[in-house]
Amino acid sequence: MFGVFVRSFVLAVNRLLFDGLSKLYEEIQRYREAELHKTERRSSHDTSELSIPSTSSPSTRFLWHQGDETMDDMQLSSATSSELLPSQAAPGDRLSQSQKQFFLHDTVQLIELGQSVGAMSIRGHSVRPASRTNPDELFVAYLDLVNRREYDAAVEALHAYHDVALAATRRLRQALRGRSEAAANGTTGAPGTSGLHFLGSGVQYAALNLAGLHILFDRYEVAADSLHEAIRVAQHHGDHICVAFALSWLIRIQQAQGKPIAQVSALVVNTIERADELALPSLQALVALTGLEYDLLVSTSGRPSSSALASFPAPRPLALWDRLDDVERAVNQLADTVPTVSLGGGNAGRTLGNLMMNMHPAGGAVGGNNAASAGSNPTRVGGMKWKQSADSVLQTLWSLQGKSTLAASLGWRMVGKRAVAAAFDDVFWVAYRESASAREIALWLARMVLNQATTRSKELDPPTESFNVAFADALNHLHDLMHAQRIPNHDLLMYPSLQRALHQVFFSWSLNRGEHAMNDFHIHQIIALSPASSNYPTYLTALLMQAQGWGEREQYEHCFQQLDELETICDDRGYEYLLAQVLINRSRYRQRSAIGQHGPFDALPDLLRAIGICQTHSFELLLAEAHVIMAEIYLAMAKINDALQLIHEQRAFVNEHGSIQLLAESLLLEAKIALAIPFDSPEEEEDEDDKDTRLQRCLELIRESETLWQTLQHWKKLREIAFLKATIHRQQRSVVFDREASNAAAKAFFEYEKLLREAQGREIESGFKLSTLAQLDRVVQSRMQTCI
């Protein structure tokens, strides 16, 4: 019959004219292109996982493995969402698969930088991320919904994505199982299917990604349930890699929820051991960074014994170097797995694909006969078997380097090495700003604005000298920094970390000026931005700031009650850094509220305990702050020489690393100590010239301290300085007595007294918002109108 058909076809063609032949040729061409297009679509689902492309799929950095066949048949989405699927074929469907792939890849990068993707277009064609069969387009839709903070739609998009991804995985498994059964009937050593969960996307990774979505929306309880589900399914399949990553996410959740130190430390040890066994450098680096951040806050005495943790030396700066070195080694190990290939070349993906296959113990077979060899032979497995492109690995390397830089800056600033921390901040801004996510940039900017508001020297390019107030300078510098990067300012300002930092700056500003109503407003905003359920250490820090506000307005009963509660919490959970801050503040306010000659002794127990914690953990800035309070107690106890020696011993360190307030307090206290030395003491036999010289030295110290307090607009301290200056001028001889300076100091005293009275009744600005830079500038201008 086929021969009869061919013969009749040939006769019919011979009878056609030229016009008919042209139409026949066009029809055959159209039919051939349609068949080729169908073949390419089928092969993209069946064989794309067997090679590694040079440019990654948007979803390859998030989904790596596959699960059981029966579980893959489940539909994760409730129904096909009409919002995700196009009502008709979009014009962008005429684009080739490679064009769509590169365009979607760029779109994912824009979304990760914080830009919202509405209607996407390329060369005049509209591309809608809603294809029913293309997982990459569904994944782009999911990322965009997350970026726009649409929780319900994002959950539905993620489920729809996994439905498509699991279907592709199921077809791949069936193909490989057929090859395995056919080869088993023939030769030995054929690829097995027991290790196929290292190839695609399984239900355990659907649960893992769902947990990540819950974490992004601060739903930590639900996220923990999803992680436990991912661990159960992964253990059922023997997928140790998924278990390791789920444990690393559980560490973050338990840290945010303020779990006890022993529980979190045990989880850290377990994850470190699994990462070492599975030879996953990226996981090793992430766990090391997590351990570094956690170790900076908590006590090391509560850790369980482990070879991985016991190798860290006791002195805090050395331990910090050692942990950062672990991160660097893990990142370098991951970098060693990337071959030297041209990412633009056509053979780059195949070269990486061959490398990937050679990493498996079966020597080119996927899975092989030994399915459990992922941890038994880590030197041959390497750290790339869960990655699917060179681009993904390089992006992971760069991201880990940026995270390591941020962690190093945090660590060195916490132990008092501000110059070293500033160097790491510069490296991040110059080297990693372009590739960092919007969340990381917001975190870095938050750290910068807080640092600029408390330190004298500018760690980056100095801002425009529009203000002489440290807080206004810091906010003005933030304005300049945000104009220097590509992320929309509105989206960046709305990140909780940056909003919290802005309110902290305004809180300190209003606290110094005695603006009680504004102070209450900002502290309530900070607490609202630091929920206990999702960021427990930050929530405790907000409560400490609230206690400081009560202490500065002399509401000591509320202050001590809050500090006592914070001490109990920090003791139970081992938050040593926060505990030292609590003890220092309580000793400061006990010393201020002390009555009678035995009053200073009430502050000594807390202060001595805080000094011990700071010395043990090398919290040098906190130690310097505690020494200033100790010198004040020595002065109240008439131990003048001890107080002066304590201030002199740390003067160089405070000048180099101290904050504006710490340096101002040290200078003012040194002037008070010098002024407290009795002039008629037998050991101080000095003539009138020496007396005038010492008084002039006190005035110099007070003027230098006054300049710093003016930078902070601390009205109470400036009022005290005005009183001291007037007193010193009155003690000078008539020959050098400056009546005008004495009267000016007395006048300034009453001006600051007036400012304090006016500040107590000042309300928050009408329609106060910090959503845009223009609104931020208006608030700063309004606060600056109260300067004198």
Residue 466 has which token pair?
């529009």
CB contact set of 163 (below 8 Å; sequence gap of 6+): 75, 76, 77
Give the containing element (helix H, strand E) for 131: none
* CATH number of the domain bearing residue 610: 1.25.40
Domain limit, last residue, from 658, 684, 703: 658
394 CB neighbour count, 10 Å cutoff = 16
Q: Residue 699 is which amino acid? A: L
| Owner of token pair 């372009």 | 434
The whole-angstrom distance between residue 534's C-alpha and the CA centroid of its chain comes to: 14
As a whole number of angstroms, the distance between CA 72 and CA 205 comes to: 11
CB contact set of 112 (below 8 Å; sequence gap of 6+): 143, 437, 438
Is 602 inside any structural domain? yes
Counting as low any pLDDT under 50, the low residues of the chain are 45-92, 119-127, 129-130, 187-200, 300-315, 338-389, 458-467, 682-685, 735
Q: What is the pLDDT of residue 569?
A: 92
CB contact set of 52 (below 8 Å; sequence gap of 6+): 349, 350, 352, 353, 356, 387, 388, 389, 390
Domain range for 540 = 530-658
Is 340 inside any structural domain? no
127: helix, strand or coil = strand
Q: Which of 441, 470, 447, 476 is nearest to 457 (CA)?
A: 470
Q: What is the pLDDT of residue 518?
A: 92
Is 635 inside any structural domain? yes
Longest dimension (CA), the chain: 134
Length of the chain: 788
Q: Which of 65, 390, 114 is nearest to 244 (CA)?
A: 65
The reported pTM is 0.68
Is 196 inside any structural domain? no
As a whole number of angstroms, the distance between CA 488 and CA 352 comes to: 36
As a whole number of angstroms, the distance between CA 420 and CA 112 comes to: 29
Q: Helix axis angle, 496-513 relative to 773-784, nearest 10°?
A: 10
Q: What is the pLDDT of residue 324?
A: 64
Q: What is the pLDDT of residue 560?
A: 94
Domain limit, last residue, from 658, 681, 707: 658
Burial code (b: 16+ CB inside 10 Å, e: under 16) for 287-315 equals bbbbbbbbbbbbbbeebeeeebbeebeee
Residue 542 has which token pair?
């907000």
Is 400 inside any structural domain? no
Q: Is 258 left (phi over 0), alpha (psi -120 to 50) or beta?
A: left
Q: Do residues 111 and 147 make contact, with C-beta atoms less than 8 angstroms apart?
A: yes
Q: Given 3-state DSSP classes, what are the helix, strand and coil percentages for the chain, each rounded to the nearest 5?
A: 70, 0, 30
Is 98 inside any structural domain? no
Pairing of strands 120-122, 125-127: antiparallel
Is 669 inside any structural domain? no
Q: What is the pLDDT of residue 646?
A: 92
Q: Is 681 exposed, middle or buried (0-12, 13-18, 19+ CB in 10 A)?
A: exposed
Q: What total of structural domains would you count in the chain?
A: 2
Q: What angle do CA 348, 353, 357 make, to 5 degrees?
A: 155
Q: Do residues 617 and 315 make contact, with C-beta atoms less than 8 angstroms apart?
A: no
Phi, psi at 121, each rounded to 5°: -145, 150
| DSSP class per residue in 695-745 | HHHHHHHHHHHHHHHHHHT-HHHHHHHHHHHHHHHHHS-TTT--HHHHHHH
| DSSP class per residue in 643-664 | HHHHHHHTHHHHHHH--HHHHH
Q: Do residues 574 and 302 make contact, with C-beta atoms less than 8 angstroms apart?
A: yes
Domain limit, last residue, from 601, 628, 658: 658
Helix/strand/coil (H/E/C) assignment for every residue in 577-638: HHHHHHHHHHHHHHHHCCCCCCHHHHHHHHHHHHHHHHHHHCCHHHHHHHHHHHHHHHHHCC
